[in-house]
Chains A and B, each alone.
Chain A
């Protein structure tokens, strides 16, 4: 099995330094491309590779890039931003790449930046990733020293530099337009699309934001070609995917697998199955803002389209497993409280609706719920949908709530009927 994104990563050991990285063929793709291939050709390669965004929405990466104005009269500078905010609960896959393959990220950023004609790159890094910060800073310094970043990269006459911005902490900073505001030193409220960042982004200039995992695939696509990349997938998918799993599992962790690997295989084979005494009940397949999948989806290939067909989203591909000893109401309460806390407060449904759902869920958990509360939750889960709220945060919050209400309705009603959380030992 090919694992291009992670094969040089040795967990528990420092990442490859520049010379080690060079020895594995590192920076070859960039060297051969920058100034020698037309930027449009790089976009084309990425288009043909079938690469879809790994940040949650699954938007085709090449297509996203192709909206950037090119040519001499395009506004300047242009920016390429690596989204390393990863604040989605349950997600920790990007950390693995950031800590394990900093040069790989930089090289891929050089190629991505070249493809869209960007002069400046930013890595928007989650505050908690201290180790990643140290390793990335070092790698950037090495790359600059080697002339791979700076005014004249690889002697090509092209300029591209990379800077790290460490987030001051807010889930909204991961949303690409909130991120842009944060980079501009403003409150990280989202921006309306259109205009898309590709047309008017950072400081009003053309900008592309991509997820770390998405970006890291770019150098392999350029190096090995799009067909090679496509074929890495399973069950019709293109490329590999970093899956991760957490919960009561024997070996929680992160693995690079062909995209389209079935759910059951990940839990049983890679995560080692459930810990003793715990039984699988359901999982969020792609982080906190996705709908629950259950046993019934055990053989479902975890790829964008199959998961969507099953009524959920692949999201970040990071599974949060709920066992039969975990209260679904409590779990959803934890999630809704998270989303309510992280709402930016800009739009009404999100700002007022989420704390309301979180409050109702807390009352249910505390045994103070009423049947009409469940109706209220349904109302909110239905209403906080894309297009209703300003950005995707609140619809993301609706996903686990709506599916929990339909899958675990009995549990909600038991909380009301019994006037307590049935999953907690009685006091």
Chain B
């Protein structure tokens, strides 16, 4: 620690930081623009000027940029000194010379960093009489608005987009006072992370187009801590609601998981919530004369209870996108034997194998921000940018770990972003990618191998064997010796090696080989430590569901086929989408009764006896477990209109009526979570994920809406002149209103990151324990899985027999493969068309050409797909998109090409 003086007062500071970070951390107000805690310093905007003195007797000092000055021992600086204060005021004046001052019509208004800084720096009066420069803005696609005239040229957008996220189509163009941040020409931004521009931009150049369609200012939003439901990474989000609908989703800082960012699937997928396919009342789709019939709550629950009491064998289909609570309630209802997962066998096996590997072996599953610090990465099979985008973003940072450390050894401080990059140049890695087809991470890979899933598993095992001869040998190792040794060496010498795999190859063997590879490093390393092991599981609660146990959907279908099932309760799943319309219809025909609980209507629901309107992530409470094994709590953002409620509450009501006494005790979200924790040792720590509902601050709960929330009395005036009492929330320490504790709550239940003088997302520095560190009072969530350590037994890698057929491999699309987000119009617009991707040689030997239409079949499902040739795809594989255009998931995992006739 160094001692520094700020305006005459001494403080302890970490000398590896810059003064801006230190000053903000100490709680001072100092305006800035180009610095960002995740991006570091470049010194472009000149806004963070302070005065630095040479010693105690120097009173004149010299203006320096706080962001570019280390917090070195003995540094003496002043924030208040006139020279720096004058400059700060002038910098704002300069930035405002051409700014359009269009705050009233700007989406950023009210949470604009430029507004905040203008006030903070004290600029009030416009002296320039020159005409303002103007720009023509661009159409950047369905998600992001562009208004270049508001730009203050802080360079943050391109630094995030290009350097942090690896995008190529957003650039700083032009020179002098005509710098333009945009694309070469109009068109959708190509990066899966483009939406972060909305929060990175300190003013309203990049705005959220989805929010603009139902615009609400920040102060009129009700928000609560939540977790993204659109993939297995489990990023923290801050959804905002007004008038009973979500208006937007913003990244919610989490010191260990997603940091400051989100992917666009997570940011923009929320619009499914107001899709016209929403189920808002209980239905009997096959009611009287097969006419759909709306049911009262009472009638619906009674019907379900009757099905429960009148059926001999009831099975439940749990959902990897539903909460632990809802899945748990269903599992209790149907019993462990009757509980199945809405997942194909391959996906199911992959998830189970992954969780077993994380529990049985010595390797730890790293959180995203820990992945960022890994310094040697091997990815087996997974196209992370598509299946777990934020994990890909973390690996992009990991690829810089070694090059950055080289720069730091030259004496360049870690925050000095520009100098680091100039020193690093194009050095990356080591990162090794083994995948069936090109991925967006290829550009940073030390080496890329294109292989079939089978060969990827074999290669992983072969590298593991090179590290530890105890690893059993496998036939079918197609990797060259030098390649094997190169990767083995990289894993041995790295400080924090990492092995990544996922369910995207449809291969349990790949999951197991990844585990063996990570574990085998411990034998070769001097420190005996095993590599970290990260799995990308596909859906928001794939891990949680697997922890509960249960069999795959295929077995449920088989049981029905055998006539063993009388009724099926289907939780938040569209079986048509998974198994295909044929098998799903058959299944629903074989079971006498079916109950579906979901938010959105789908073909499976249309065939059920009763459909119950389930709360979305924004409307209810519950926990998800992410791929890392971290349980995280979703808190209701708003209270939905009656009768929408969480699936578990519906199940509870039906169970109580049907005489399942146990459900009685599930009196609230916490009670059922505790019950799940008691029943499943793996979930024991679930209740620790968040503060409990009886948490109070100064006797009060925490408000979801900010004090400035406007128009509450008027919102429902057309229905009733009396202002309704706000709904109560007995499930969390939050209140559905603007009344709440005047004291700032701990970061994990903070609803609006807002501090005096700081209205924008930049207010976050006020809520972190230290810049870039955990939220004040600790980040939410709790890790459920820790490695068992030694001794361990290598996992059995069972390779499928080599076959002349093409191996089906799922092609995951960030936009389109996930069921709920695909309903959001913006995401739908960016989803690729369905296709069948082949290596041109394979296509040639099958006599297929581009655009030929081919039938694909698996387990009774089929689809017709047009051929797309991809020279980069491994020979011997057939890429089948996951979930695009309602292609049954089963086809992506097991599809067989029907050529010829």
* Contact of B43 with A387 in the complex, beta carbons under 8 Å: no
**A residues less than 8 Å from B407 (CB atoms):** 200, 204
User: Cα distance A353–B68 when bound, in Å?
Assistant: 21
Q: Are A348 and B91 in contact (CB under 8 A)?
A: yes
Q: Is A277 at the interface (CB under 8 A from chain B)?
A: no
Cβ of B176 within 8 Å of any chain A Cβ, yes or no, is yes
Chain B neighbourhood of A4, CB < 8 A: none
In the complex, the answer to whether A346 meets B44 with C-beta atoms within 8 Å is: yes
Instruction: State which of A16-24, A187-195, A226-234, A261-269 sits at the interface with chain B.
Output: A187-195
Answer whether residue B863 sits at the interface, using C-beta atoms and an 8 A cutoff: no
Contacts A191-B418, A191-B419; is A387 near B177 (CB within 8 Å)?
no
In the complex, are the beta carbons of B410 and A351 less than 8 A apart? Answer: no
Is residue B49 contacting chain A, with contact meaning CB distance below 8 A?
yes
**A383-B153 contact given A191-B419, A200-B410, A348-B94, CB 8 Å threshold:** no
B interface: dominant SS: loop
CB of B405 within 8 A of chain A? no
Interface flags, A364-408, vs B, CB<8A=1, else 0 = 000000001000100100010101111000000000000000000
Complex Cα gap A352–B176 (Å): 8
Tell me the nearest residue of chain A to B129, going by C-beta.
Answer: A363
Query: For A314, what are the chain B residues with a Cβ–Cβ distance below 8 Å?
Result: none
The B175-189 residues at the A interface (CB cut-off 8 A) are: 175-179
**Does A97 reach chain B (CB closer than 8 Å)?**
no
Q: Which one of B43, B91, B179 contacts A390 once the chains associate, using CB atoms below 8 Å?
A: B43
Q: How far is the CA of A385 from the CA of B418 in the complex (A)?
A: 22
Which residues of chain B are near A379, meaning CB under 8 Å?
A: 90
Cβ of B412 and Cβ of A345 under 8 Å apart? no
Task: Evaluate contact between B176 and A344: CB separation under 8 angstroms.
Answer: yes
Structural contact, B47 and A192, CB atoms closer than 8 A: no
A333 contacts B by Cβ under 8 Å: no
CA distance A97 to B789 in the complex (A): 72
Cα separation A203 to B155 with both chains bound (whole Å): 22
Q: Does B265 contact A (CB under 8 A)?
A: no
Interface residues of A in 297-322 (CB under 8 A from B): none
Say yes or no for A246: interface residue by CB 8 A criterion.
no
**B87: contacting residue among A341, A351, A388, CB under 8 A:** A388
Chain B 590-617 interface 0/1 with A at a Cβ cutoff of 8 Å (1 = within)? 0000000000000000000000000000
Cβ A388 vs Cβ B153 within 8 A: no
Contact A195 B410 (CB under 8 A): yes
Most chain B C-beta atoms within 10 Å of own C-beta, residue among A187, A340, A342? A187
Establish whether residues B63 and A352, one from each chain, have CB atoms under 8 Å apart when the complex forms. no
Alpha-carbon gap, A352 to B123, bound state (A) = 15
Instruction: Tell me which of B242-250, B422-430, B840-848 binds A.
Output: B422-430
CA distance A354 to B94 in the complex (A): 10
Q: Which residues of B contact A199 (CB under 8 A)?
A: 410-411
Q: Among A170, A200, A347, which residue has its beta carbon within 8 angstroms of that of B423?
A: A200
B62 is an interface residue with CB less than 8 A from chain A: yes
Q: Which of B69-94 contact A (CB under 8 A)?
A: 86-87, 90-91, 94
Does A89 lie at the interface of the complex (its beta carbon under 8 Å from any beta carbon of B)? no
> Taking the complex as formed, is A419 at the interface, i.e. its CB lies under 8 A from any CB of chain B?
no
Q: How large is the interface on A (under 10, 10 to 19, 20 to 34, 35 or more residues)?
A: 35 or more
Contact across chains for B94 and A352 when beta carbons are under 8 A apart: yes
- The winner among A360, A385, A388 for most chain B CB atoms within 10 A is A388
A383 CB contact (under 8 Å) in B43, B68, B86, B174: B86
Our pick among B45, B175, B425 for the contact of A348 (Cβ within 8 Å) is B45
Asked if A343 is at the interface of the complex by the 8 Å CB criterion, the answer is: yes
* B176 and A355 within 8 A (CB): yes
**What 1/0 flags go to A147-188 for Cβ under 8 Å of B?**
000000000000000000000001000000000000000010
Chain A residues near B45 (CB, 8 Å)? 347-348
CB-CB < 8 A to A204: which residues of B?
407, 422-425
A356 at the interface (CB under 8 A from B): yes
Instruction: Give which listed residue, B46, B63, B97, contacts A347 with CB less than 8 A.
Output: B46
CA distance A245 to B130 in the complex (A): 35
Q: Does the CB pair B130–A187 fall under 8 Å?
A: no
With A383-B86, A387-B62: A349-B91 Cβ-Cβ less than 8 Å: yes
Q: Which of A348, A363, A385, A387 meets B153, CB within 8 Å?
A: A348
- Are the CB atoms of B94 and A343 closer together than 8 Å? no
Q: Report yes or no: B410 in contact with A390, Cβ–Cβ below 8 A.
A: no
B30-47 vs A: 1/0 string, CB under 8 Å? 000000000000111111
Tally of B interface residues using CB under 8 Å: 44
Q: Mark B124-168, 1 if CB is under 8 A from A, else 0.
A: 000111100000000000000000000011010000000000000
Taking the closest CB of chain B, its distance from the CB of A96, in whole angstroms, is: 29
The answer to whether A356 touches B130 (Cβ under 8 A) is: yes
> A359 at interface (Cβ–Cβ under 8 A)?
yes
| A348 and B46 form a contact (CB under 8 A) | yes
CB distance B94 to A356 under 8 Å? yes
Are A390 and B153 closer than 8 Å at their CB atoms? no
What is the CB-to-nearest-CB distance from B661 to chain A, in angstroms, rounded to a whole number? 69
Q: Which of B97, B176, B425 contacts A342 (CB 8 A)?
A: B176
B64 at the interface (CB under 8 A from A): yes
Query: In chain A between 102 and 121, which residues have their CB closer than 8 angstroms to a CB of chain B?
Result: none
User: Are B87 and A345 in contact, with the CB atoms below 8 A?
Assistant: no
- Given the known interface contacts A344-B175, A351-B153, the answer about A195 and B49 at a Cβ–Cβ threshold of 8 Å is no
Query: Is the Cβ of A195 less than 8 Å from the Cβ of B177?
Result: no
A390 CA to B34 CA, complexed, in Å: 13
Which residue from chain B places its CB closest to the CB of A339 in the assembled complex? B176
Q: How far is the CA of A118 from the CA of B206 in the complex (A)?
A: 46
**A residues near B788, Cβ cutoff 8 Å:** none
With A356-B94, A356-B97 in contact, do A388 and B44 touch (Cβ < 8 Å)?
no
Check B175–A345 contact: CB distance below 8 A: yes
Query: Contact string, A327-347, partner B, CB cutoff 8 A, digits 1/0?
Result: 000000000000011111111
* Min distance, Cβ B66 to any Cβ of chain A, angstroms: 12
Alpha-carbon gap, A376 to B44, bound state (A): 23
Min CB distance A370 to B, Å, is 8
Whether B176 and A348, one on each chain, are in contact in the complex, defined by CB atoms closer than 8 angstroms, is: no
Closest to B152 in A: A348
Given contacts A192-B416, A351-B179, whether A203 and B46 have CB atoms under 8 Å apart is no
Chain A residues, Cβ within 8 Å of B172: 187
Asked if A388 meets B49 with Cβ closer than 8 Å, knowing A346-B44, A383-B86, A383-B87, the reply is: yes
B806 interface residue (CB < 8 Å to A) = no
User: In the complex the two chains form, what is the Cα distance from A195 to B413 in whole Å?
Assistant: 10
Distance between Cα atoms of A343 and B47 in the complex (Å): 18
> Hey, which chain A residues are within 8 Å of B87, CB to CB?
383, 388
Q: Is B95 located at the chain interface by the 8 A CB criterion?
A: yes
Q: Are B46 and A390 in contact (CB under 8 A)?
A: yes
Residue of A nearest to B64 (CB): A387
From the candidates B90, B176, B411, name the one contacting A340 in the complex (CB within 8 A). Answer: B176
A356 cross-chain contacts in B, Cβ below 8 A: 94, 97, 128, 130
Q: Assess whether B423 is in contact with A195, with CB atoms less than 8 Å apart.
A: yes
Question: A340 and B177 in contact (CB under 8 A), knowing A195-B410, A349-B46, A359-B130?
Answer: yes
By the criterion CB–CB under 8 Å, are B46 and A388 in contact?
A: yes
Smallest CB gap from B180: residue in A: A345
Contacts of B153 on A, CB cut-off 8 Å? Answer: 345, 348, 351
| Partner among A203, A343, A389 whose Cβ is within 8 Å of the Cβ of B176 | A343
In the complex, which residues of chain B have a beta carbon less than 8 angstroms from the beta carbon of A390?
43-44, 46
B86 touches A348 (CB 8 A): no
A200 engages B422 (CB within 8 Å)? yes
Which residue on B lies nearest to A180, using beta carbons? B422
Q: Is the CB of B412 within 8 A of A348?
A: no
- Report the Cα distance A204→B410, complex, angstroms: 11
> Which residues on the B side are within 8 Å of A200 (C-beta)?
407, 410, 412, 419, 422-423
Q: Could you tell me the distance in whole angstroms from the C-beta of B671 to the nearest C-beta in chain A? A: 56
For this complex, 13 residue pairs linking A to B, each with C-beta atoms less than 8 Å apart, are A192-B42, A195-B419, A195-B423, A341-B176, A344-B176, A346-B155, A348-B44, A349-B94, A356-B94, A383-B86, A387-B63, A389-B46, A390-B43
Closest 7 CB pairs of A and B: A352-B94, A345-B179, A204-B423, A343-B176, A359-B130, A200-B423, A355-B177
For the complex with contacts A352-B95, A355-B176, 13 further pairs of A-B residues with Cβ separation under 8 Å are: A191-B422, A192-B68, A194-B419, A203-B425, A345-B177, A345-B179, A348-B44, A353-B90, A354-B176, A376-B127, A383-B86, A387-B64, A388-B63
